Amino acid sequence: MADPALLVRPDGTPGGKSFRILPGVRLNINRKSWSITTGGKHGPRRTRSGTGRRTTSMNLPGPFGWRKTRRG
């Protein structure tokens, strides 16, 4: 896990870090957990977190979006 001091923004508010591992794959780290996200702009995005949560989401045209979350 990353050093918690690195996950604080300069103004003192909590933040996180996001790293691009491969095209279409991101590793997100915050103080309490981590997650890996796969997918892109033009299709479903799948996220798996260190706490076991699995989310599938997709942007739809206009102000619409879709998301389904399952606890592991």
Q: At 49, list the tokens.
A: 């977190």
**In the block, residue with structure tokens 């799948």:** 46
Q: Secondary structure of 9-66 in the HEC alphabet?
A: CCCCCECCEEEEEECCEEEEECCCCEEEEECCCCCCEEEEECCCCEEEEEECCCCCEE
* pLDDT tens, position by position, 25-43: 999 998 788 999 999 778 8
Report how far Cα 2 is from the mean position of its chain's Cα atoms.
Answer: 15
Look at residue 22 in the predicted model and tell me its pLDDT.
93
pLDDT higher than 70, residue 6: no
- For the segment 2-10, the average pLDDT, to the nearest whole number, is 61
pTM of the prediction? 0.70
